[in-house]
């Protein structure tokens, strides 16, 4: 089924892909480089499942985890500012945070726009059962909607809640 795109997550360009090898781990989401302070919007309606201040989750900085439905979560990391609180209801495309440079992103040579970026993960479970479990490739969803020109997200994006659930189910099926 097609994924309906309605409103923004963030405008920018992908500097690190899902599955990229790092020195000591495999990248579990995508990094979207943009300017510090840019607004971050929810990919779908749901509830704030958890927020984590800088230093709580290793390498993630300030974090928001949203629960959209059973087995459908999104994670937003390296945030300058968290604008929501735990258990808060979230609407499609609602402003939830500001892009930042938390958890050492200032020194990351792969980030070329002043070090600021959004790390976005899509998951089927929170917390994940294991380090490399329960995650989906967000870039596949973006590509399905022809939202990428090379690695650039020229139009802010948002995946509707139902579409996110369908995409998660399809991704899980492809792994079996």
* Domain boundaries, given as residue ranges, for the chain: 12-175
Q: Tell me what pLDDT residue 51 has.
A: 97
H-only helix segments in the chain: 138-144, 161-175
CATH class, domain 12-175, is mainly beta
- pLDDT range class, residue 135, cuts 50, 70, 90: confident
Q: Tell me what pLDDT residue 5 has.
A: 35
Phi, psi (degrees; rounded to nearest 5) at 162 = -65, -40
CB 141 within 8 A of CB 43: no
- How far apart, in whole angstroms, are the C-alpha atoms of residue 18 and residue 135? 9
**Residues 5/11/13/19 CA torsion (nearest 10 deg):** -50
The answer on pLDDT for 99 being more than 90 is yes
Q: Tell me what pLDDT residue 4 has.
A: 34
Summarize the confidence of residues 70-75 as an average pLDDT.
Answer: 88
The answer on pLDDT for 167 being more than 60 is no
CB 45 within 8 A of CB 92: yes
Q: Tell me what pLDDT residue 42 has.
A: 87
CB 41 within 8 A of CB 84: no
Paired tokens of 106 = 């200032």
CB 67 within 8 A of CB 82: no
- pLDDT range class, residue 59, cuts 50, 70, 90: confident
Paired tokens of 88 = 């808060």
Paired tokens of 92 = 């499609």
Distances (CA, A) of 47 to 10, 33, 140: 19, 26, 24
Per residue in 116-130, pLDDT (tens digit) is 889 898 888 999 888
The answer on pLDDT for 89 being more than 50 is yes
Q: Is the pTM of the predicted complex or chain greater than 0.85?
A: no
Kind and range of the H or E run holding 162: helix 161-175
């Amino acid at each position: 089924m097609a994924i309906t795109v309605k409103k923004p997550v963030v405008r920018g360009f992908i500097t690190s892909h899902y599955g990229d090898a790092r020195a000591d781990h495999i990248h579990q989401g995508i990094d979207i480089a943009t300017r510090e302070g840019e607004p971050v919007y929810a990919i779908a309606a749901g509830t704030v499942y958890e927020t984590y201040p800088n230093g709580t989750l290793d390498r993630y900085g300030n974090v928001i985890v949203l629960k959209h439905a059973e087995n459908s979560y999104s994670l937003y990391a390296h945030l300058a500012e968290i604008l929501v609180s735990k258990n808060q209801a979230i609407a499609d495309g609602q402003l939830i945070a500001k892009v930042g440079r938390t958890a050492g992103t200032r020194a990351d040579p792969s980030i070329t726009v002043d070090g600021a970026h959004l790390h976005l993960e899509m998951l089927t479970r929170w917390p994940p059962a294991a380090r490399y479990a329960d995650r989906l490739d967000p870039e596949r969803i973006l590509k399905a909607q022809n939202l990428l020109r090379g690695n650039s997200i020229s139009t802010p994006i948002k995946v509707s809640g139902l579409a996110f659930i369908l995409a998660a189910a399809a991704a899980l099926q492809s792994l079996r």
